[in-house]
Structure 1
Amino acid sequence: MYEELYEKLPDANRYWDKLGLSRPEAPLSKDDLDRIIFAHQSRIPFENLDVCDFHRPIKLGIPDLFEKIIVGNRGGYCFELNALLDALLQDAGVKTMACLGRSLKDRGYVYPILHRGIIVTLGDERYIAEVGYGGPTPACATPLVDGAELESCGQVFRVELHDGGWWHVIYRGTAARLAAARERGEDVAPTPVFALLDAPAALTDCVPLSYYCSTHPDSVFTQWRMVNRRTEDGNVSITKDQFVRVTPEGKETRTVESEEEFRALLEEHFGIVLPA
């Protein structure tokens, strides 16, 4: 029943081609992992269209994920994207640990554990390899070092170890905004993003959690469509009926007025061509 969760990739070379990368030589370095994460976030979008628009069941078997995302040029959410990346890293000889987590966005209550993450070990160092969170999130490997700060694509993040083995990823703001605030002697309020529990999760644990995310009326994934992708110089997204494109020149926002416009934006900016 659950064997497909643990199967190997049908075609790792096709996955590397999808990322626009050559298969790195073992053992992988931190730079290799950074390139993989950035390419994944850039070339494979985060999206929930099967859940929100089409009400299709989410299959978490590796062959099913490969067929949907790599062959079918689609995206997915954490239980799909991080699972597929985990399989790719294992195929490349990397030691990985599947783990569970939660969103830290302020909703006035503690959000339930509804996130699937990856912790990677390279030599003596451990990192978060995240490609399945809607954002903001680092576009590189995140070191599991309490108090560590990193800058990624102009964004600054901080890592904190909390009680119970929870690693919190905190968004500090853009590097430009932080520098300007320092010059004025002001503080920029940090934004907690997500937390991962530093303990191995069985892949079967992900099945009921993903089922809740994809079917429950209180799940954010069933309530409105979300599509986003990192670009070379920013990001592009559709949330509900709002299209947003961020570049160094600024932010473009407009309302998506029709299904035809939505499909055209999907194809142009995310490489997704939906069936008629």
Structure 2
Amino acid sequence: MYEELYEDLPDVDRYWERLGLDRPKSPLTKDDLDRIIFAHQCSIPFENLDVCDYHRPISLGIPELFEKIVAGKRGGYCFELNALFDALLKDAGVETMPCLGRSLKDRGYVYPILHRGIIATLDGRRYIAEVGYGGPTPACAIPLVDGAEFESRGQVFRVELHDSCWWHVIYCGSAAKLAAAKEGGEAVEPAPVFALLDAPAALTDCVPLSYYCSTHPDSVFTQWRMVNRRTEDGNVSITKDRFVRVTAEGKETRIVETDAEFRTLLEAYFDIVLPD
């Protein structure tokens, strides 16, 4: 019944081709993992179109995820993207631990456990390997060291251990704004992003959680259209009907008014071509 959750990738080389990378040699280093995570975030968008626009069931079976995301050049949300990425890391010889987590964005209440993450071990050190969270998220492996602060692509993050088992990822702000604040500029308020429970999850645990995310009327995934991806110098996103493109030169924002415009943006900025 759940065997497909544990199957191998149908075509590993095609996955590496989707990422625009050569298949790395084992054992992977931290630099390798950073490079792969960044390429994944740039190549494969976070998106919930099957849930929000088409009301299609979400399969977490590896063959179905491969067909959708790699062969079909689509994206997905955490239960899809991190499941497929986990399989890729395992094929590359990386020790991984599937785990569960939650958003830490301030909604006035504690958000339920509705995130699927990965903790990877390289050379005895443990990292969060995240390619399935909508953002902001580091473009690199996240060291599981309490109090660790690091910069990734101009963004500064901190890791905190809470209650002996929850790893919190905190967005401290852009490196430029933090530097300006030190020189007497406007202070930057840190923003909690997500937390992972440091305990192994069975892949079957993800099935009911994904079903809630993809079907329940209270789920943000059924309410809001969300598409985003990292770019070499920023990011691009569509949330509800709002298109945002961030580059080194600045920020562009506009309202998406028609379905034709939405499809054009999807193809131009996310490489997604929807069927008629």
- Residue 57 of structure 1 corresponds to which residue in structure 2? 57
- Residue 121 of structure 1 corresponds to which residue in structure 2? 121
Q: Which moved more, 1:104-113 or 1:184-193?
A: 184-193
- Residue 22 of structure 2 corresponds to which residue in structure 1? 22
The Cα shift of 1:185 comes to 6.4
The Cα shift of 1:187 comes to 3.4
The number of residue pairs the alignment matches comes to 276
- Residue 242 of structure 1 corresponds to which residue in structure 2? 242
Specify whether residues 260 and 165 from structure 1 end up closer, same or farther in structure 2 by C-alpha distance, changes over 3 A only: same
Q: SS of the counterpart of 2:183?
A: helix
- Residue 272 of structure 2 corresponds to which residue in structure 1? 272
Q: SS of the counterpart of 2:137?
A: coil
The Cα shift of 1:224 comes to 1.1
The letter for the 2-side match of 1:105 is K
The Cα shift of 1:164 comes to 4.0
Distance 2:53 2:186 in 1: 43
Identity %: 82
Distance 1:150 1:15 in 2: 29
Distance 2:78 2:148 in 1: 24
Residue deviations 1:107-166, cap 9 Å, x none?
Answer: 111000000000000011100000000000000000000000110110000000000400
Distance 1:264 1:47 in 2: 16
Report the TM-score when normalising by structure 2.
Answer: 0.99
Distance 2:137 2:232 in 1: 15
1:149 aligns with 2:149: yes
- Residue 233 of structure 2 corresponds to which residue in structure 1? 233
1:93-104 equivalent positions in 2, closer than 5 A: 93-104=93-104
Residue deviations 1:33-74, cap 9 Å, x none?
Answer: 001000000000000000000000000000000000000000
The Cα shift of 1:186 comes to 5.4
Specify whether residues 7 and 60 from structure 1 end up closer, same or farther in structure 2 by C-alpha distance, changes over 3 A only: same
- Residue 213 of structure 1 corresponds to which residue in structure 2? 213
- Residue 71 of structure 1 corresponds to which residue in structure 2? 71
Distance 1:183 1:251 in 2: 24
Residue deviations 1:64-93, cap 9 Å, x none?
Answer: 000000000000000000000000000011
Report the TM-score when normalising by structure 1.
Answer: 0.99
Specify whether residues 6 and 159 from structure 1 end up closer, same or farther in structure 2 by C-alpha distance, changes over 3 A only: same
Distance 1:167 1:87 in 2: 23
Instruction: Report runs of 4+ in structure 1 exceeding 2 Å deviation.
Output: none
Q: SS of the counterpart of 2:101?
A: strand
Distance 2:174 2:96 in 1: 30
The letter for the 2-side match of 1:26 is S
Q: SS of the counterpart of 2:57?
A: coil
Which ranges in structure 1 are unaligned for 5 or more consecutive residues? Answer: none
- Residue 252 of structure 1 corresponds to which residue in structure 2? 252
Q: SS of the counterpart of 1:184?
A: coil
